[in-house]
Each structure stands twice: as structure tokens, then as C-alpha cells.
Chains A and B, each alone.
Chain A
Amino acid sequence: EIVMTQSPATLSVSPGERATLSCRASQSVITSLAWYQQKPGQSPRLLIRHASTRATGIPARFSASGSATEFTLTISSLQSEDFAVYYCQQYSNWPWTFGQGTKVEFK
């Protein structure tokens, strides 16, 4: 099973600041990597697929990069609605696996 490790566990950011989240895979997933946003009481929302492609309707302030084992999600200027938990997920090998999440909280 591919283990996904996210860092940091919690990121304290002020509105308007830049947030950078990291995700590492225990073996190469090429670019079969997705990022999700989850708010309390809601289901996960797809932000990014194929490591860097924004899903439909996702604002341009969300960008992502990486390949193989190292991936990054960047939120260029945090808005109030961006405070949430973010998960990376690989779909290269079954079982598809998630990182443990990064909570982006208000500083």
C-alpha cells in the first residue's frame, strides 16, 4: 500500500497570505495525484486532479505541482472560505490512499 504523508499537520495563516501544503508518497505515483478540500460536516470537494489540473469551477488561486513522490498545493491568497482540511490522494495503485490531512486554520 502506498503511504501518503502530508505536512504540516496544521497551518496557521492570515487571510490574504499564501499557503503551501506538501504531500509525499512512499513510492512513485507518477502524476496520479488529487487534492481535496473538506469543510466540517461536508463531503470532500475535488480541487486538483492529475497533480496539477484544477477541477471544474476551482478558483485560480489554487495551484498544484509535483510528480513521482513530491507534490505541493498552493493557495496564493487565502480567502475566508478556504479555511478547511486538505487531503492529497493517490490513484496510481489500489488501494487508493489519502494523506492524513492538513488543517488550514485562521492565524
Chain B
Amino acid sequence: EVQLVESGGDLVHPGGSLTLSCSASGFTFTTYSMHWARQAPGKGLEFVSDISQNGETTLYADSVKDRFIISRDNSKNTVYLQMSSLKPEDTAVYYCVKGGGDWGQGTLVTVSS
């Protein structure tokens, strides 16, 4: 059974930084691209970042480009999202998504003073 467990969500001040982690199990991690998506409270869904199987190719939504960095450690079956220069509009539940459509349960990031 595929399991994706996000962690690291917290309350952070505007301009602050945070790193999210996603621990994956139940599938061959190295054969799937991985993604981060988010959902602001009461709003729709947005993919924010993508990373290829070997980590060499990364993609970002314009809304987070130059502020967020996605990475993965294939020896630990873990994908990360380093977030910096956080803004109130980054407040959302952040989901880890496996290529092919499996989603984790999400972790809440709140950016507020």
C-alpha cells in the first residue's frame, strides 16, 4: 500500500523559512517523479513543484519560483520542500503527491504575524 507522510508544517512569520518532508513507502520510490501541491483554506488546488525520478529536473509554479526548492533523497525515500521568503498567501495545506496520483494527508503551513 502506498503511504506518503508529510511533516514539518508549522506557524511561521512572513519572510520566514520552513522545510517540509514527505516520507514514502509501499512503492519503488526511485521509479516515480514526485510533486508538492497545496490548497489554501477553503480554496482550490495548486501544484507548486515537481521533481524527476533522479532529482535532476525540477519544476516550479510561478507563485513559488525562486523561493521554494524541491529535492529528494532516494536513499531515504523522502522528498523535501524548502520554503523561504514565505508570504501570507503561502498559507495552505501542503500535499506530497506521487506520480500517478497518490496523495498524502497533508501538512498545514500558516504564514502569519
**A positions within 8 Å CB-CB of B:** 1, 34, 36, 38, 43-46, 49, 55, 87, 89, 94-101
B95 within 8 Å of A (CB atoms): yes
B102 within 8 Å of A (CB atoms): yes
- Pick the contact of B45: A44, A46, A94 (CB < 8 A): A44
Size of interface on B: residues with Cβ below 8 Å to A: 16
**B positions within 8 Å CB-CB of A:** 44-47, 50, 59, 61-62, 95, 100-106
- Pick the contact of A89: B45, B50, B104 (CB < 8 A): B45
> Would you call B102 and A87 a contact (CB within 8 A)?
no
Specify which chain B residues have a CB less than 8 angstroms from the CB of A45 in the assembled complex: 103
> Would you call B44 and A101 a contact (CB within 8 A)?
yes
Least distance between A101 CB and chain B CB atoms (Å): 6
Rounded to whole angstroms, the CA-CA distance of A101 and B106 in the bound complex is 19
> Would you call B47 and A43 a contact (CB within 8 A)?
no
Rounded to whole angstroms, the CA-CA distance of A96 and B45 in the bound complex is 10
> Would you call A97 and B101 a contact (CB within 8 A)?
no
Least distance between B3 CB and chain A CB atoms (Å): 12
